[in-house]
Structure 1
Amino acid sequence: MDQKLIALDLDGTTLNGKSQLSSKTKEVLQKAQEAGHIVALVTGRPNRNSVNYYDELGLKTPMINFNGSLGHIPHQHWDKEYELTFNRKITFDILHEKEKLGIKIIAAEGKNLALADVPNNVLDGYFPTALKSTEVLNQMNLQRDPTSMMLLVDPDKKDNIVHQLESSFGDRITVGVWGGPNPILELSPRGINKTYGVRYLANYFNIDRQNVIAFGDEHNDAEMLTYAGWGVAMKNGTDKIRSLANDITPLDNAHDGMAYYLEDYLNLA
């Protein structure tokens, strides 16, 4: 079998419902690497809360974070590393309009950057619960352009906020709307999504597009699944994602759906 690039979303795909890597997942991904395939994590998460999974899997490949905006190899210098950003003035403009728009929390992030304007006692894990003075999002602390911004918004005002942001900044940023129960918007550099990272890796490893297999479950996986030669949606994926995919896993992420599918697809059993 040709060498495959296996692009894996984390939440709802590689991770189970408790945000953990099961022993089955670890075993299959280990076997895939031993068979000569390339395993890469391609996640919307920042590097700060995904590198633990990278290490647990024993990966040495580049990792893609922030939905394609950052490509790097953790714990080492990689001369092909990239980080895409947008102008920090946009962050300050949004901060200024925060109350008027109906935004509750604003966070700005990058590879070594994590700032938020207020602590969060609402959503676990997405925004910091306590802030040191150096972690507060303001003009003094944000000295460089961010790679990503996350906004927790008033659910009733979400559509209006998206409209306002797109009309003000749409030529420079892309506004992503999270699925699921949390009214979160994610801002990234204009036109960048997970496909940017996957294509970058495919070029780097000299892998044809038809030898890319990608797994995902949510709206931010759409372009990646469409780009991949074989795009696989999780059984627990959104209707849209399942409609775009070449195939759907028979099992969901709580029952090792990705691992069993990949084991079968690559004949690793």
Structure 2
Amino acid sequence: MKPKLLAFDLDGTLLTTDKTISPRTLEVLIAFQRAGGRVAIASARPAVGTAVYSRMLKLADYHGLVIAYNGAQIVDQTTQQVIFEKQMDPDTARAFIRNAERFPVSVLVDDGRTYFSNDPDGYKVEHQRSVIGIPIEKHVPLADFVDFPLCKILVMGHGDVLDRVTPEITAPFADVFDFFRVGEYYLEVTFKGFSKASGLKAIENRLGISRAEMIAFGDSQNDAGMLAYAGIGAAMRNGEAPAKAAADVVTAYDNDHDGIAHFLTENPAVDLEMIDF
């Protein structure tokens, strides 16, 4: 297989435990782009929250892509043009937020520049804000404040709290939204039937790169659709069971030991002969 697109999740996949890209992995991915390939960050984050890694990968030099909000938005990093976007129905989004605000959780939404929350002091909210690198404002009730389009809603709380209240938060909206529990304290709310795989499909439709020419890497439940959609889906050795079940293969090395770089340069199913390593 000669891939034309490499897509990868950030945390637990491209990034090491200390939230950086290893020199060897960076070298391989930049060489792939220099040889004419396209690279896409596929993240649950808003696009702004991927900016530091986009710069490290030099995506702006090679029309690299950011698939943000679990596939709901795609941004060309050279032109900063949004080439695809799917927004939630405003009334339904407000209804969900209003219901969620009845429970002891923090609800976060953003407009691409700022986070807005009913409880900025809630569990791990400041950590989330610092990771994304945008300011946060408090608005109560949040549902009454939101009058702008949303691509994703994030619910945060202690793990035991989310375990207890998630069924009541999600049940009234099970027909319109999908819900992904990511780690202990995140509940991601996305479009029904929509995922990072939808982002890959949008790239296929708009850029003419077939799914058979894509390799996707991921480690979490919200990566499973992308791993199943790509021509080769590679779950990280450190990945969760749902990611490994959806993937074609599991990398021999984890995210702290250049799992992506080893896979691309040592797997006989991947043809990168045009790159001088």
TM-score, normalised via structure 1 length:
0.86
How big is the alpha-carbon RMSD for the aligned residues of Structure 1 and Structure 2? 2.6
Whole-Å separation in 2 of the counterparts to 1:145 and 1:183:
25
> How far 1:108 sits from its partner (Å)?
1.0
- Equivalent residues of 2:9, 2:43 under 8 A apart: yes
- Equivalent residues of 1:62, 1:71 under 8 A apart: yes
> How far 1:130 sits from its partner (Å)?
7.0
Query: Compared with structure 1, are the counterparts of its residues 58 and 233 closer, same or farther at alpha carbon in structure 2 (3 Å cutoff)?
Result: same
Query: Compared with structure 1, are the counterparts of its residues 75 and 56 closer, same or farther at alpha carbon in structure 2 (3 Å cutoff)?
Result: same
Whole-Å separation in 2 of the counterparts to 1:54 and 1:190:
28
> Which of the residues 189, 192, 199 maps onto 2:191?
189
> How far 1:62 sits from its partner (Å)?
2.4
Q: Is there any run of 5+ residues in structure 2 with no aligned partner, and where? A: none
- Percent sequence identity is 28
Q: What is residue 229 of structure 2 aligned with on the other side?
A: 227
Whole-Å separation in 2 of the counterparts to 1:225 and 1:26:
21
The SS at the match of 1:49 is: helix
The SS at the match of 1:82 is: strand
Residues 55-134 of structure 1: matches in 2 within 5 Å?
55-59=55-59, 60-74=63-77, 76-78=79-81, 81-98=83-100, 100=102, 102-120=103-121, 122-123=123-124, 125-127=127-129, 131-132=136-137
The SS at the match of 2:17 is: coil
Q: Is there any run of 5+ residues in structure 1 with no aligned partner, and where? A: none
How many pairs does the alignment contain?
264
Residues 206-217 of structure 1: matches in 2 within 5 Å?
206-217=208-219
Whole-Å separation in 2 of the counterparts to 1:162 and 1:104:
10
Query: Compared with structure 1, are the counterparts of its residues 93 and 50 closer, same or farther at alpha carbon in structure 2 (3 Å cutoff)?
Result: same
- Equivalent residues of 1:51, 1:74 under 8 A apart: no
Output one character per residue of 1:65-119: Cα deviation in whole Å (capped at 9) or x when no partner: 01101111247353x622212133344434444464x332110124345211122
Output one character per residue of 1:122-174: Cα deviation in whole Å (capped at 9) or x when no partner: 425314697446x7773564221311111113533434533333431223221
Indicate yes or no: 2:146 matched with 1:142.
Answer: yes
Q: What is residue 162 of structure 1 aligned with on the other side?
A: 166
Whole-Å separation in 1 of the counterparts to 2:119 and 2:249:
42
- Equivalent residues of 2:114, 2:136 under 8 A apart: no
1:119 is matched by which residue type in structure 2? P
TM-score, normalised via structure 2 length:
0.84
Q: What is residue 205 of structure 2 aligned with on the other side?
A: 203
